[in-house]
Amino acid sequence: MKNIQIENIIIWAKNPNLKPRILTFSMGKVNIIHGLSQTGKSAIIPIIDYCLGSTQNKIPVGHIREYSAFFGIVLNISGIKVLLARENLDESSKKIIVLEDMQKIPENLDITKEQSIDEFKINFNKIMGVPFCEPKYSMGMRNARLSFRDLVTFNFQPQYIVANPNCLLYKMDVSKYKNLIIPVFNLIIGAETLENIENRNKLDELKKQLEELQKNNANYQKNKDRQLERATSIISKAIKYGLLDAKYTKNIKDVRDYKKILQIISQKTIRDLAPSLAQADSISDLLNDLNNEITPLNNKLISLQTQKEYIERLIQLLKERNQSQEIRKDRLEIVQFIRAFCEENSEEISCISDIDEFCSNLDNITKNLNQALKPETALYVKKLMDIDREIYNISSRIEQLKNKILETSKIEREKDIVETIYGDIIIKSKLLLDLANSKDEKLLADINKVQAEINAIQVNDVRRQYKECMDNIIKYGQKYLPDIKEFHYISQFVKDDMTIKVKKEESDEMDFYLWETGSGSNWVAFHIGVLLGFHFHFLERELPMLNFIIYDQPSQVYFPQKLLTKDNNMNSGNDVEQVKKIFKTFEDATRDAKGSLQIIVSDHAGESIWGNIPDKYKHIVANWSDGEALIPKSWYDAK
pLDDT tens digit string along 528-558? Answer: 999 999 999 999 999 999 999 999 999 988 8
pLDDT digits (tens, 9 = 90+) for 430-445: 777 777 777 778 888 9
Q: Is 286 left (phi over 0), alpha (psi -120 to 50) or beta?
A: alpha
Angle, vertex CA 238, rays to CA 232 and CA 243, nearest 5: 145
User: pTM (2 decimals)?
Assistant: 0.65
The CATH number of the domain covering residues in 1-129+549-639: 3.40.50
Amino acid making up residue 573: G
Alpha helices by DSSP H, 129-164: 148-151
Instruction: Give the tens place of pLDDT for each residue, 120-137.
Output: 999 999 999 887 554 444
Helices (H), 424-571: 428-437, 441-456, 463-479, 520-541
The amino acid present at 509, given as its one-letter code, is E
What is the pLDDT, as a whole number, of residue 67?
A: 93
If you write DSSP's letter for every residue of 294-346 in order, what string do you get? HHHHHHHHHHHHHHHHHHHHHHHHHHHHHHHHHHHHHHHHHHHHHHHHHHHST
Q: Per-residue pLDDT tens for 194-240?
A: 888 888 888 989 999 999 998 988 887 787 777 766 677 777 777 77
User: What CA–CA distance (Å, rounded) separates 312 from 381?
Assistant: 8
pLDDT exceeds cutoff 90 at 267: no
In terms of phi and psi (left: phi > 0; alpha: psi -120 to 50; beta: otherwise), the region of 574 is: alpha
Residue 7's SS3 state is strand
Least confident of 22-31, 438-447, 507-516, 542-551: 438-447
User: How far is residue 318's CA from residue 609's CA, in Å, rounded to a whole number?
Assistant: 164
Q: Are 180 and 138 in contact (CB under 8 A)?
A: no
pLDDT at 385: 85
The amino acid occupying position 75 is L
Instruction: Tell me the pLDDT band of 373, cut-offs 50, 70 and 90.
Output: low
Q: What is the dihedral of CA 629, 635, 636, 638, to 10 degrees?
A: 160
The one-letter code for the residue type at 618 is K
User: What residues contact 24, with CB distance under 8 A and at least 6 apart?
Assistant: 7, 8, 621
Helices (H), 68-193: 117-128, 148-151, 175-181, 185-188
What is the rounded distance in angstroms from the CA atom of residue 332 to the CA atom of residue 358? 10
Domain segments of the chain as ranges: 1-129+549-639, 147-155+169-210+460-543, 280-435
pLDDT of residue 90: 79
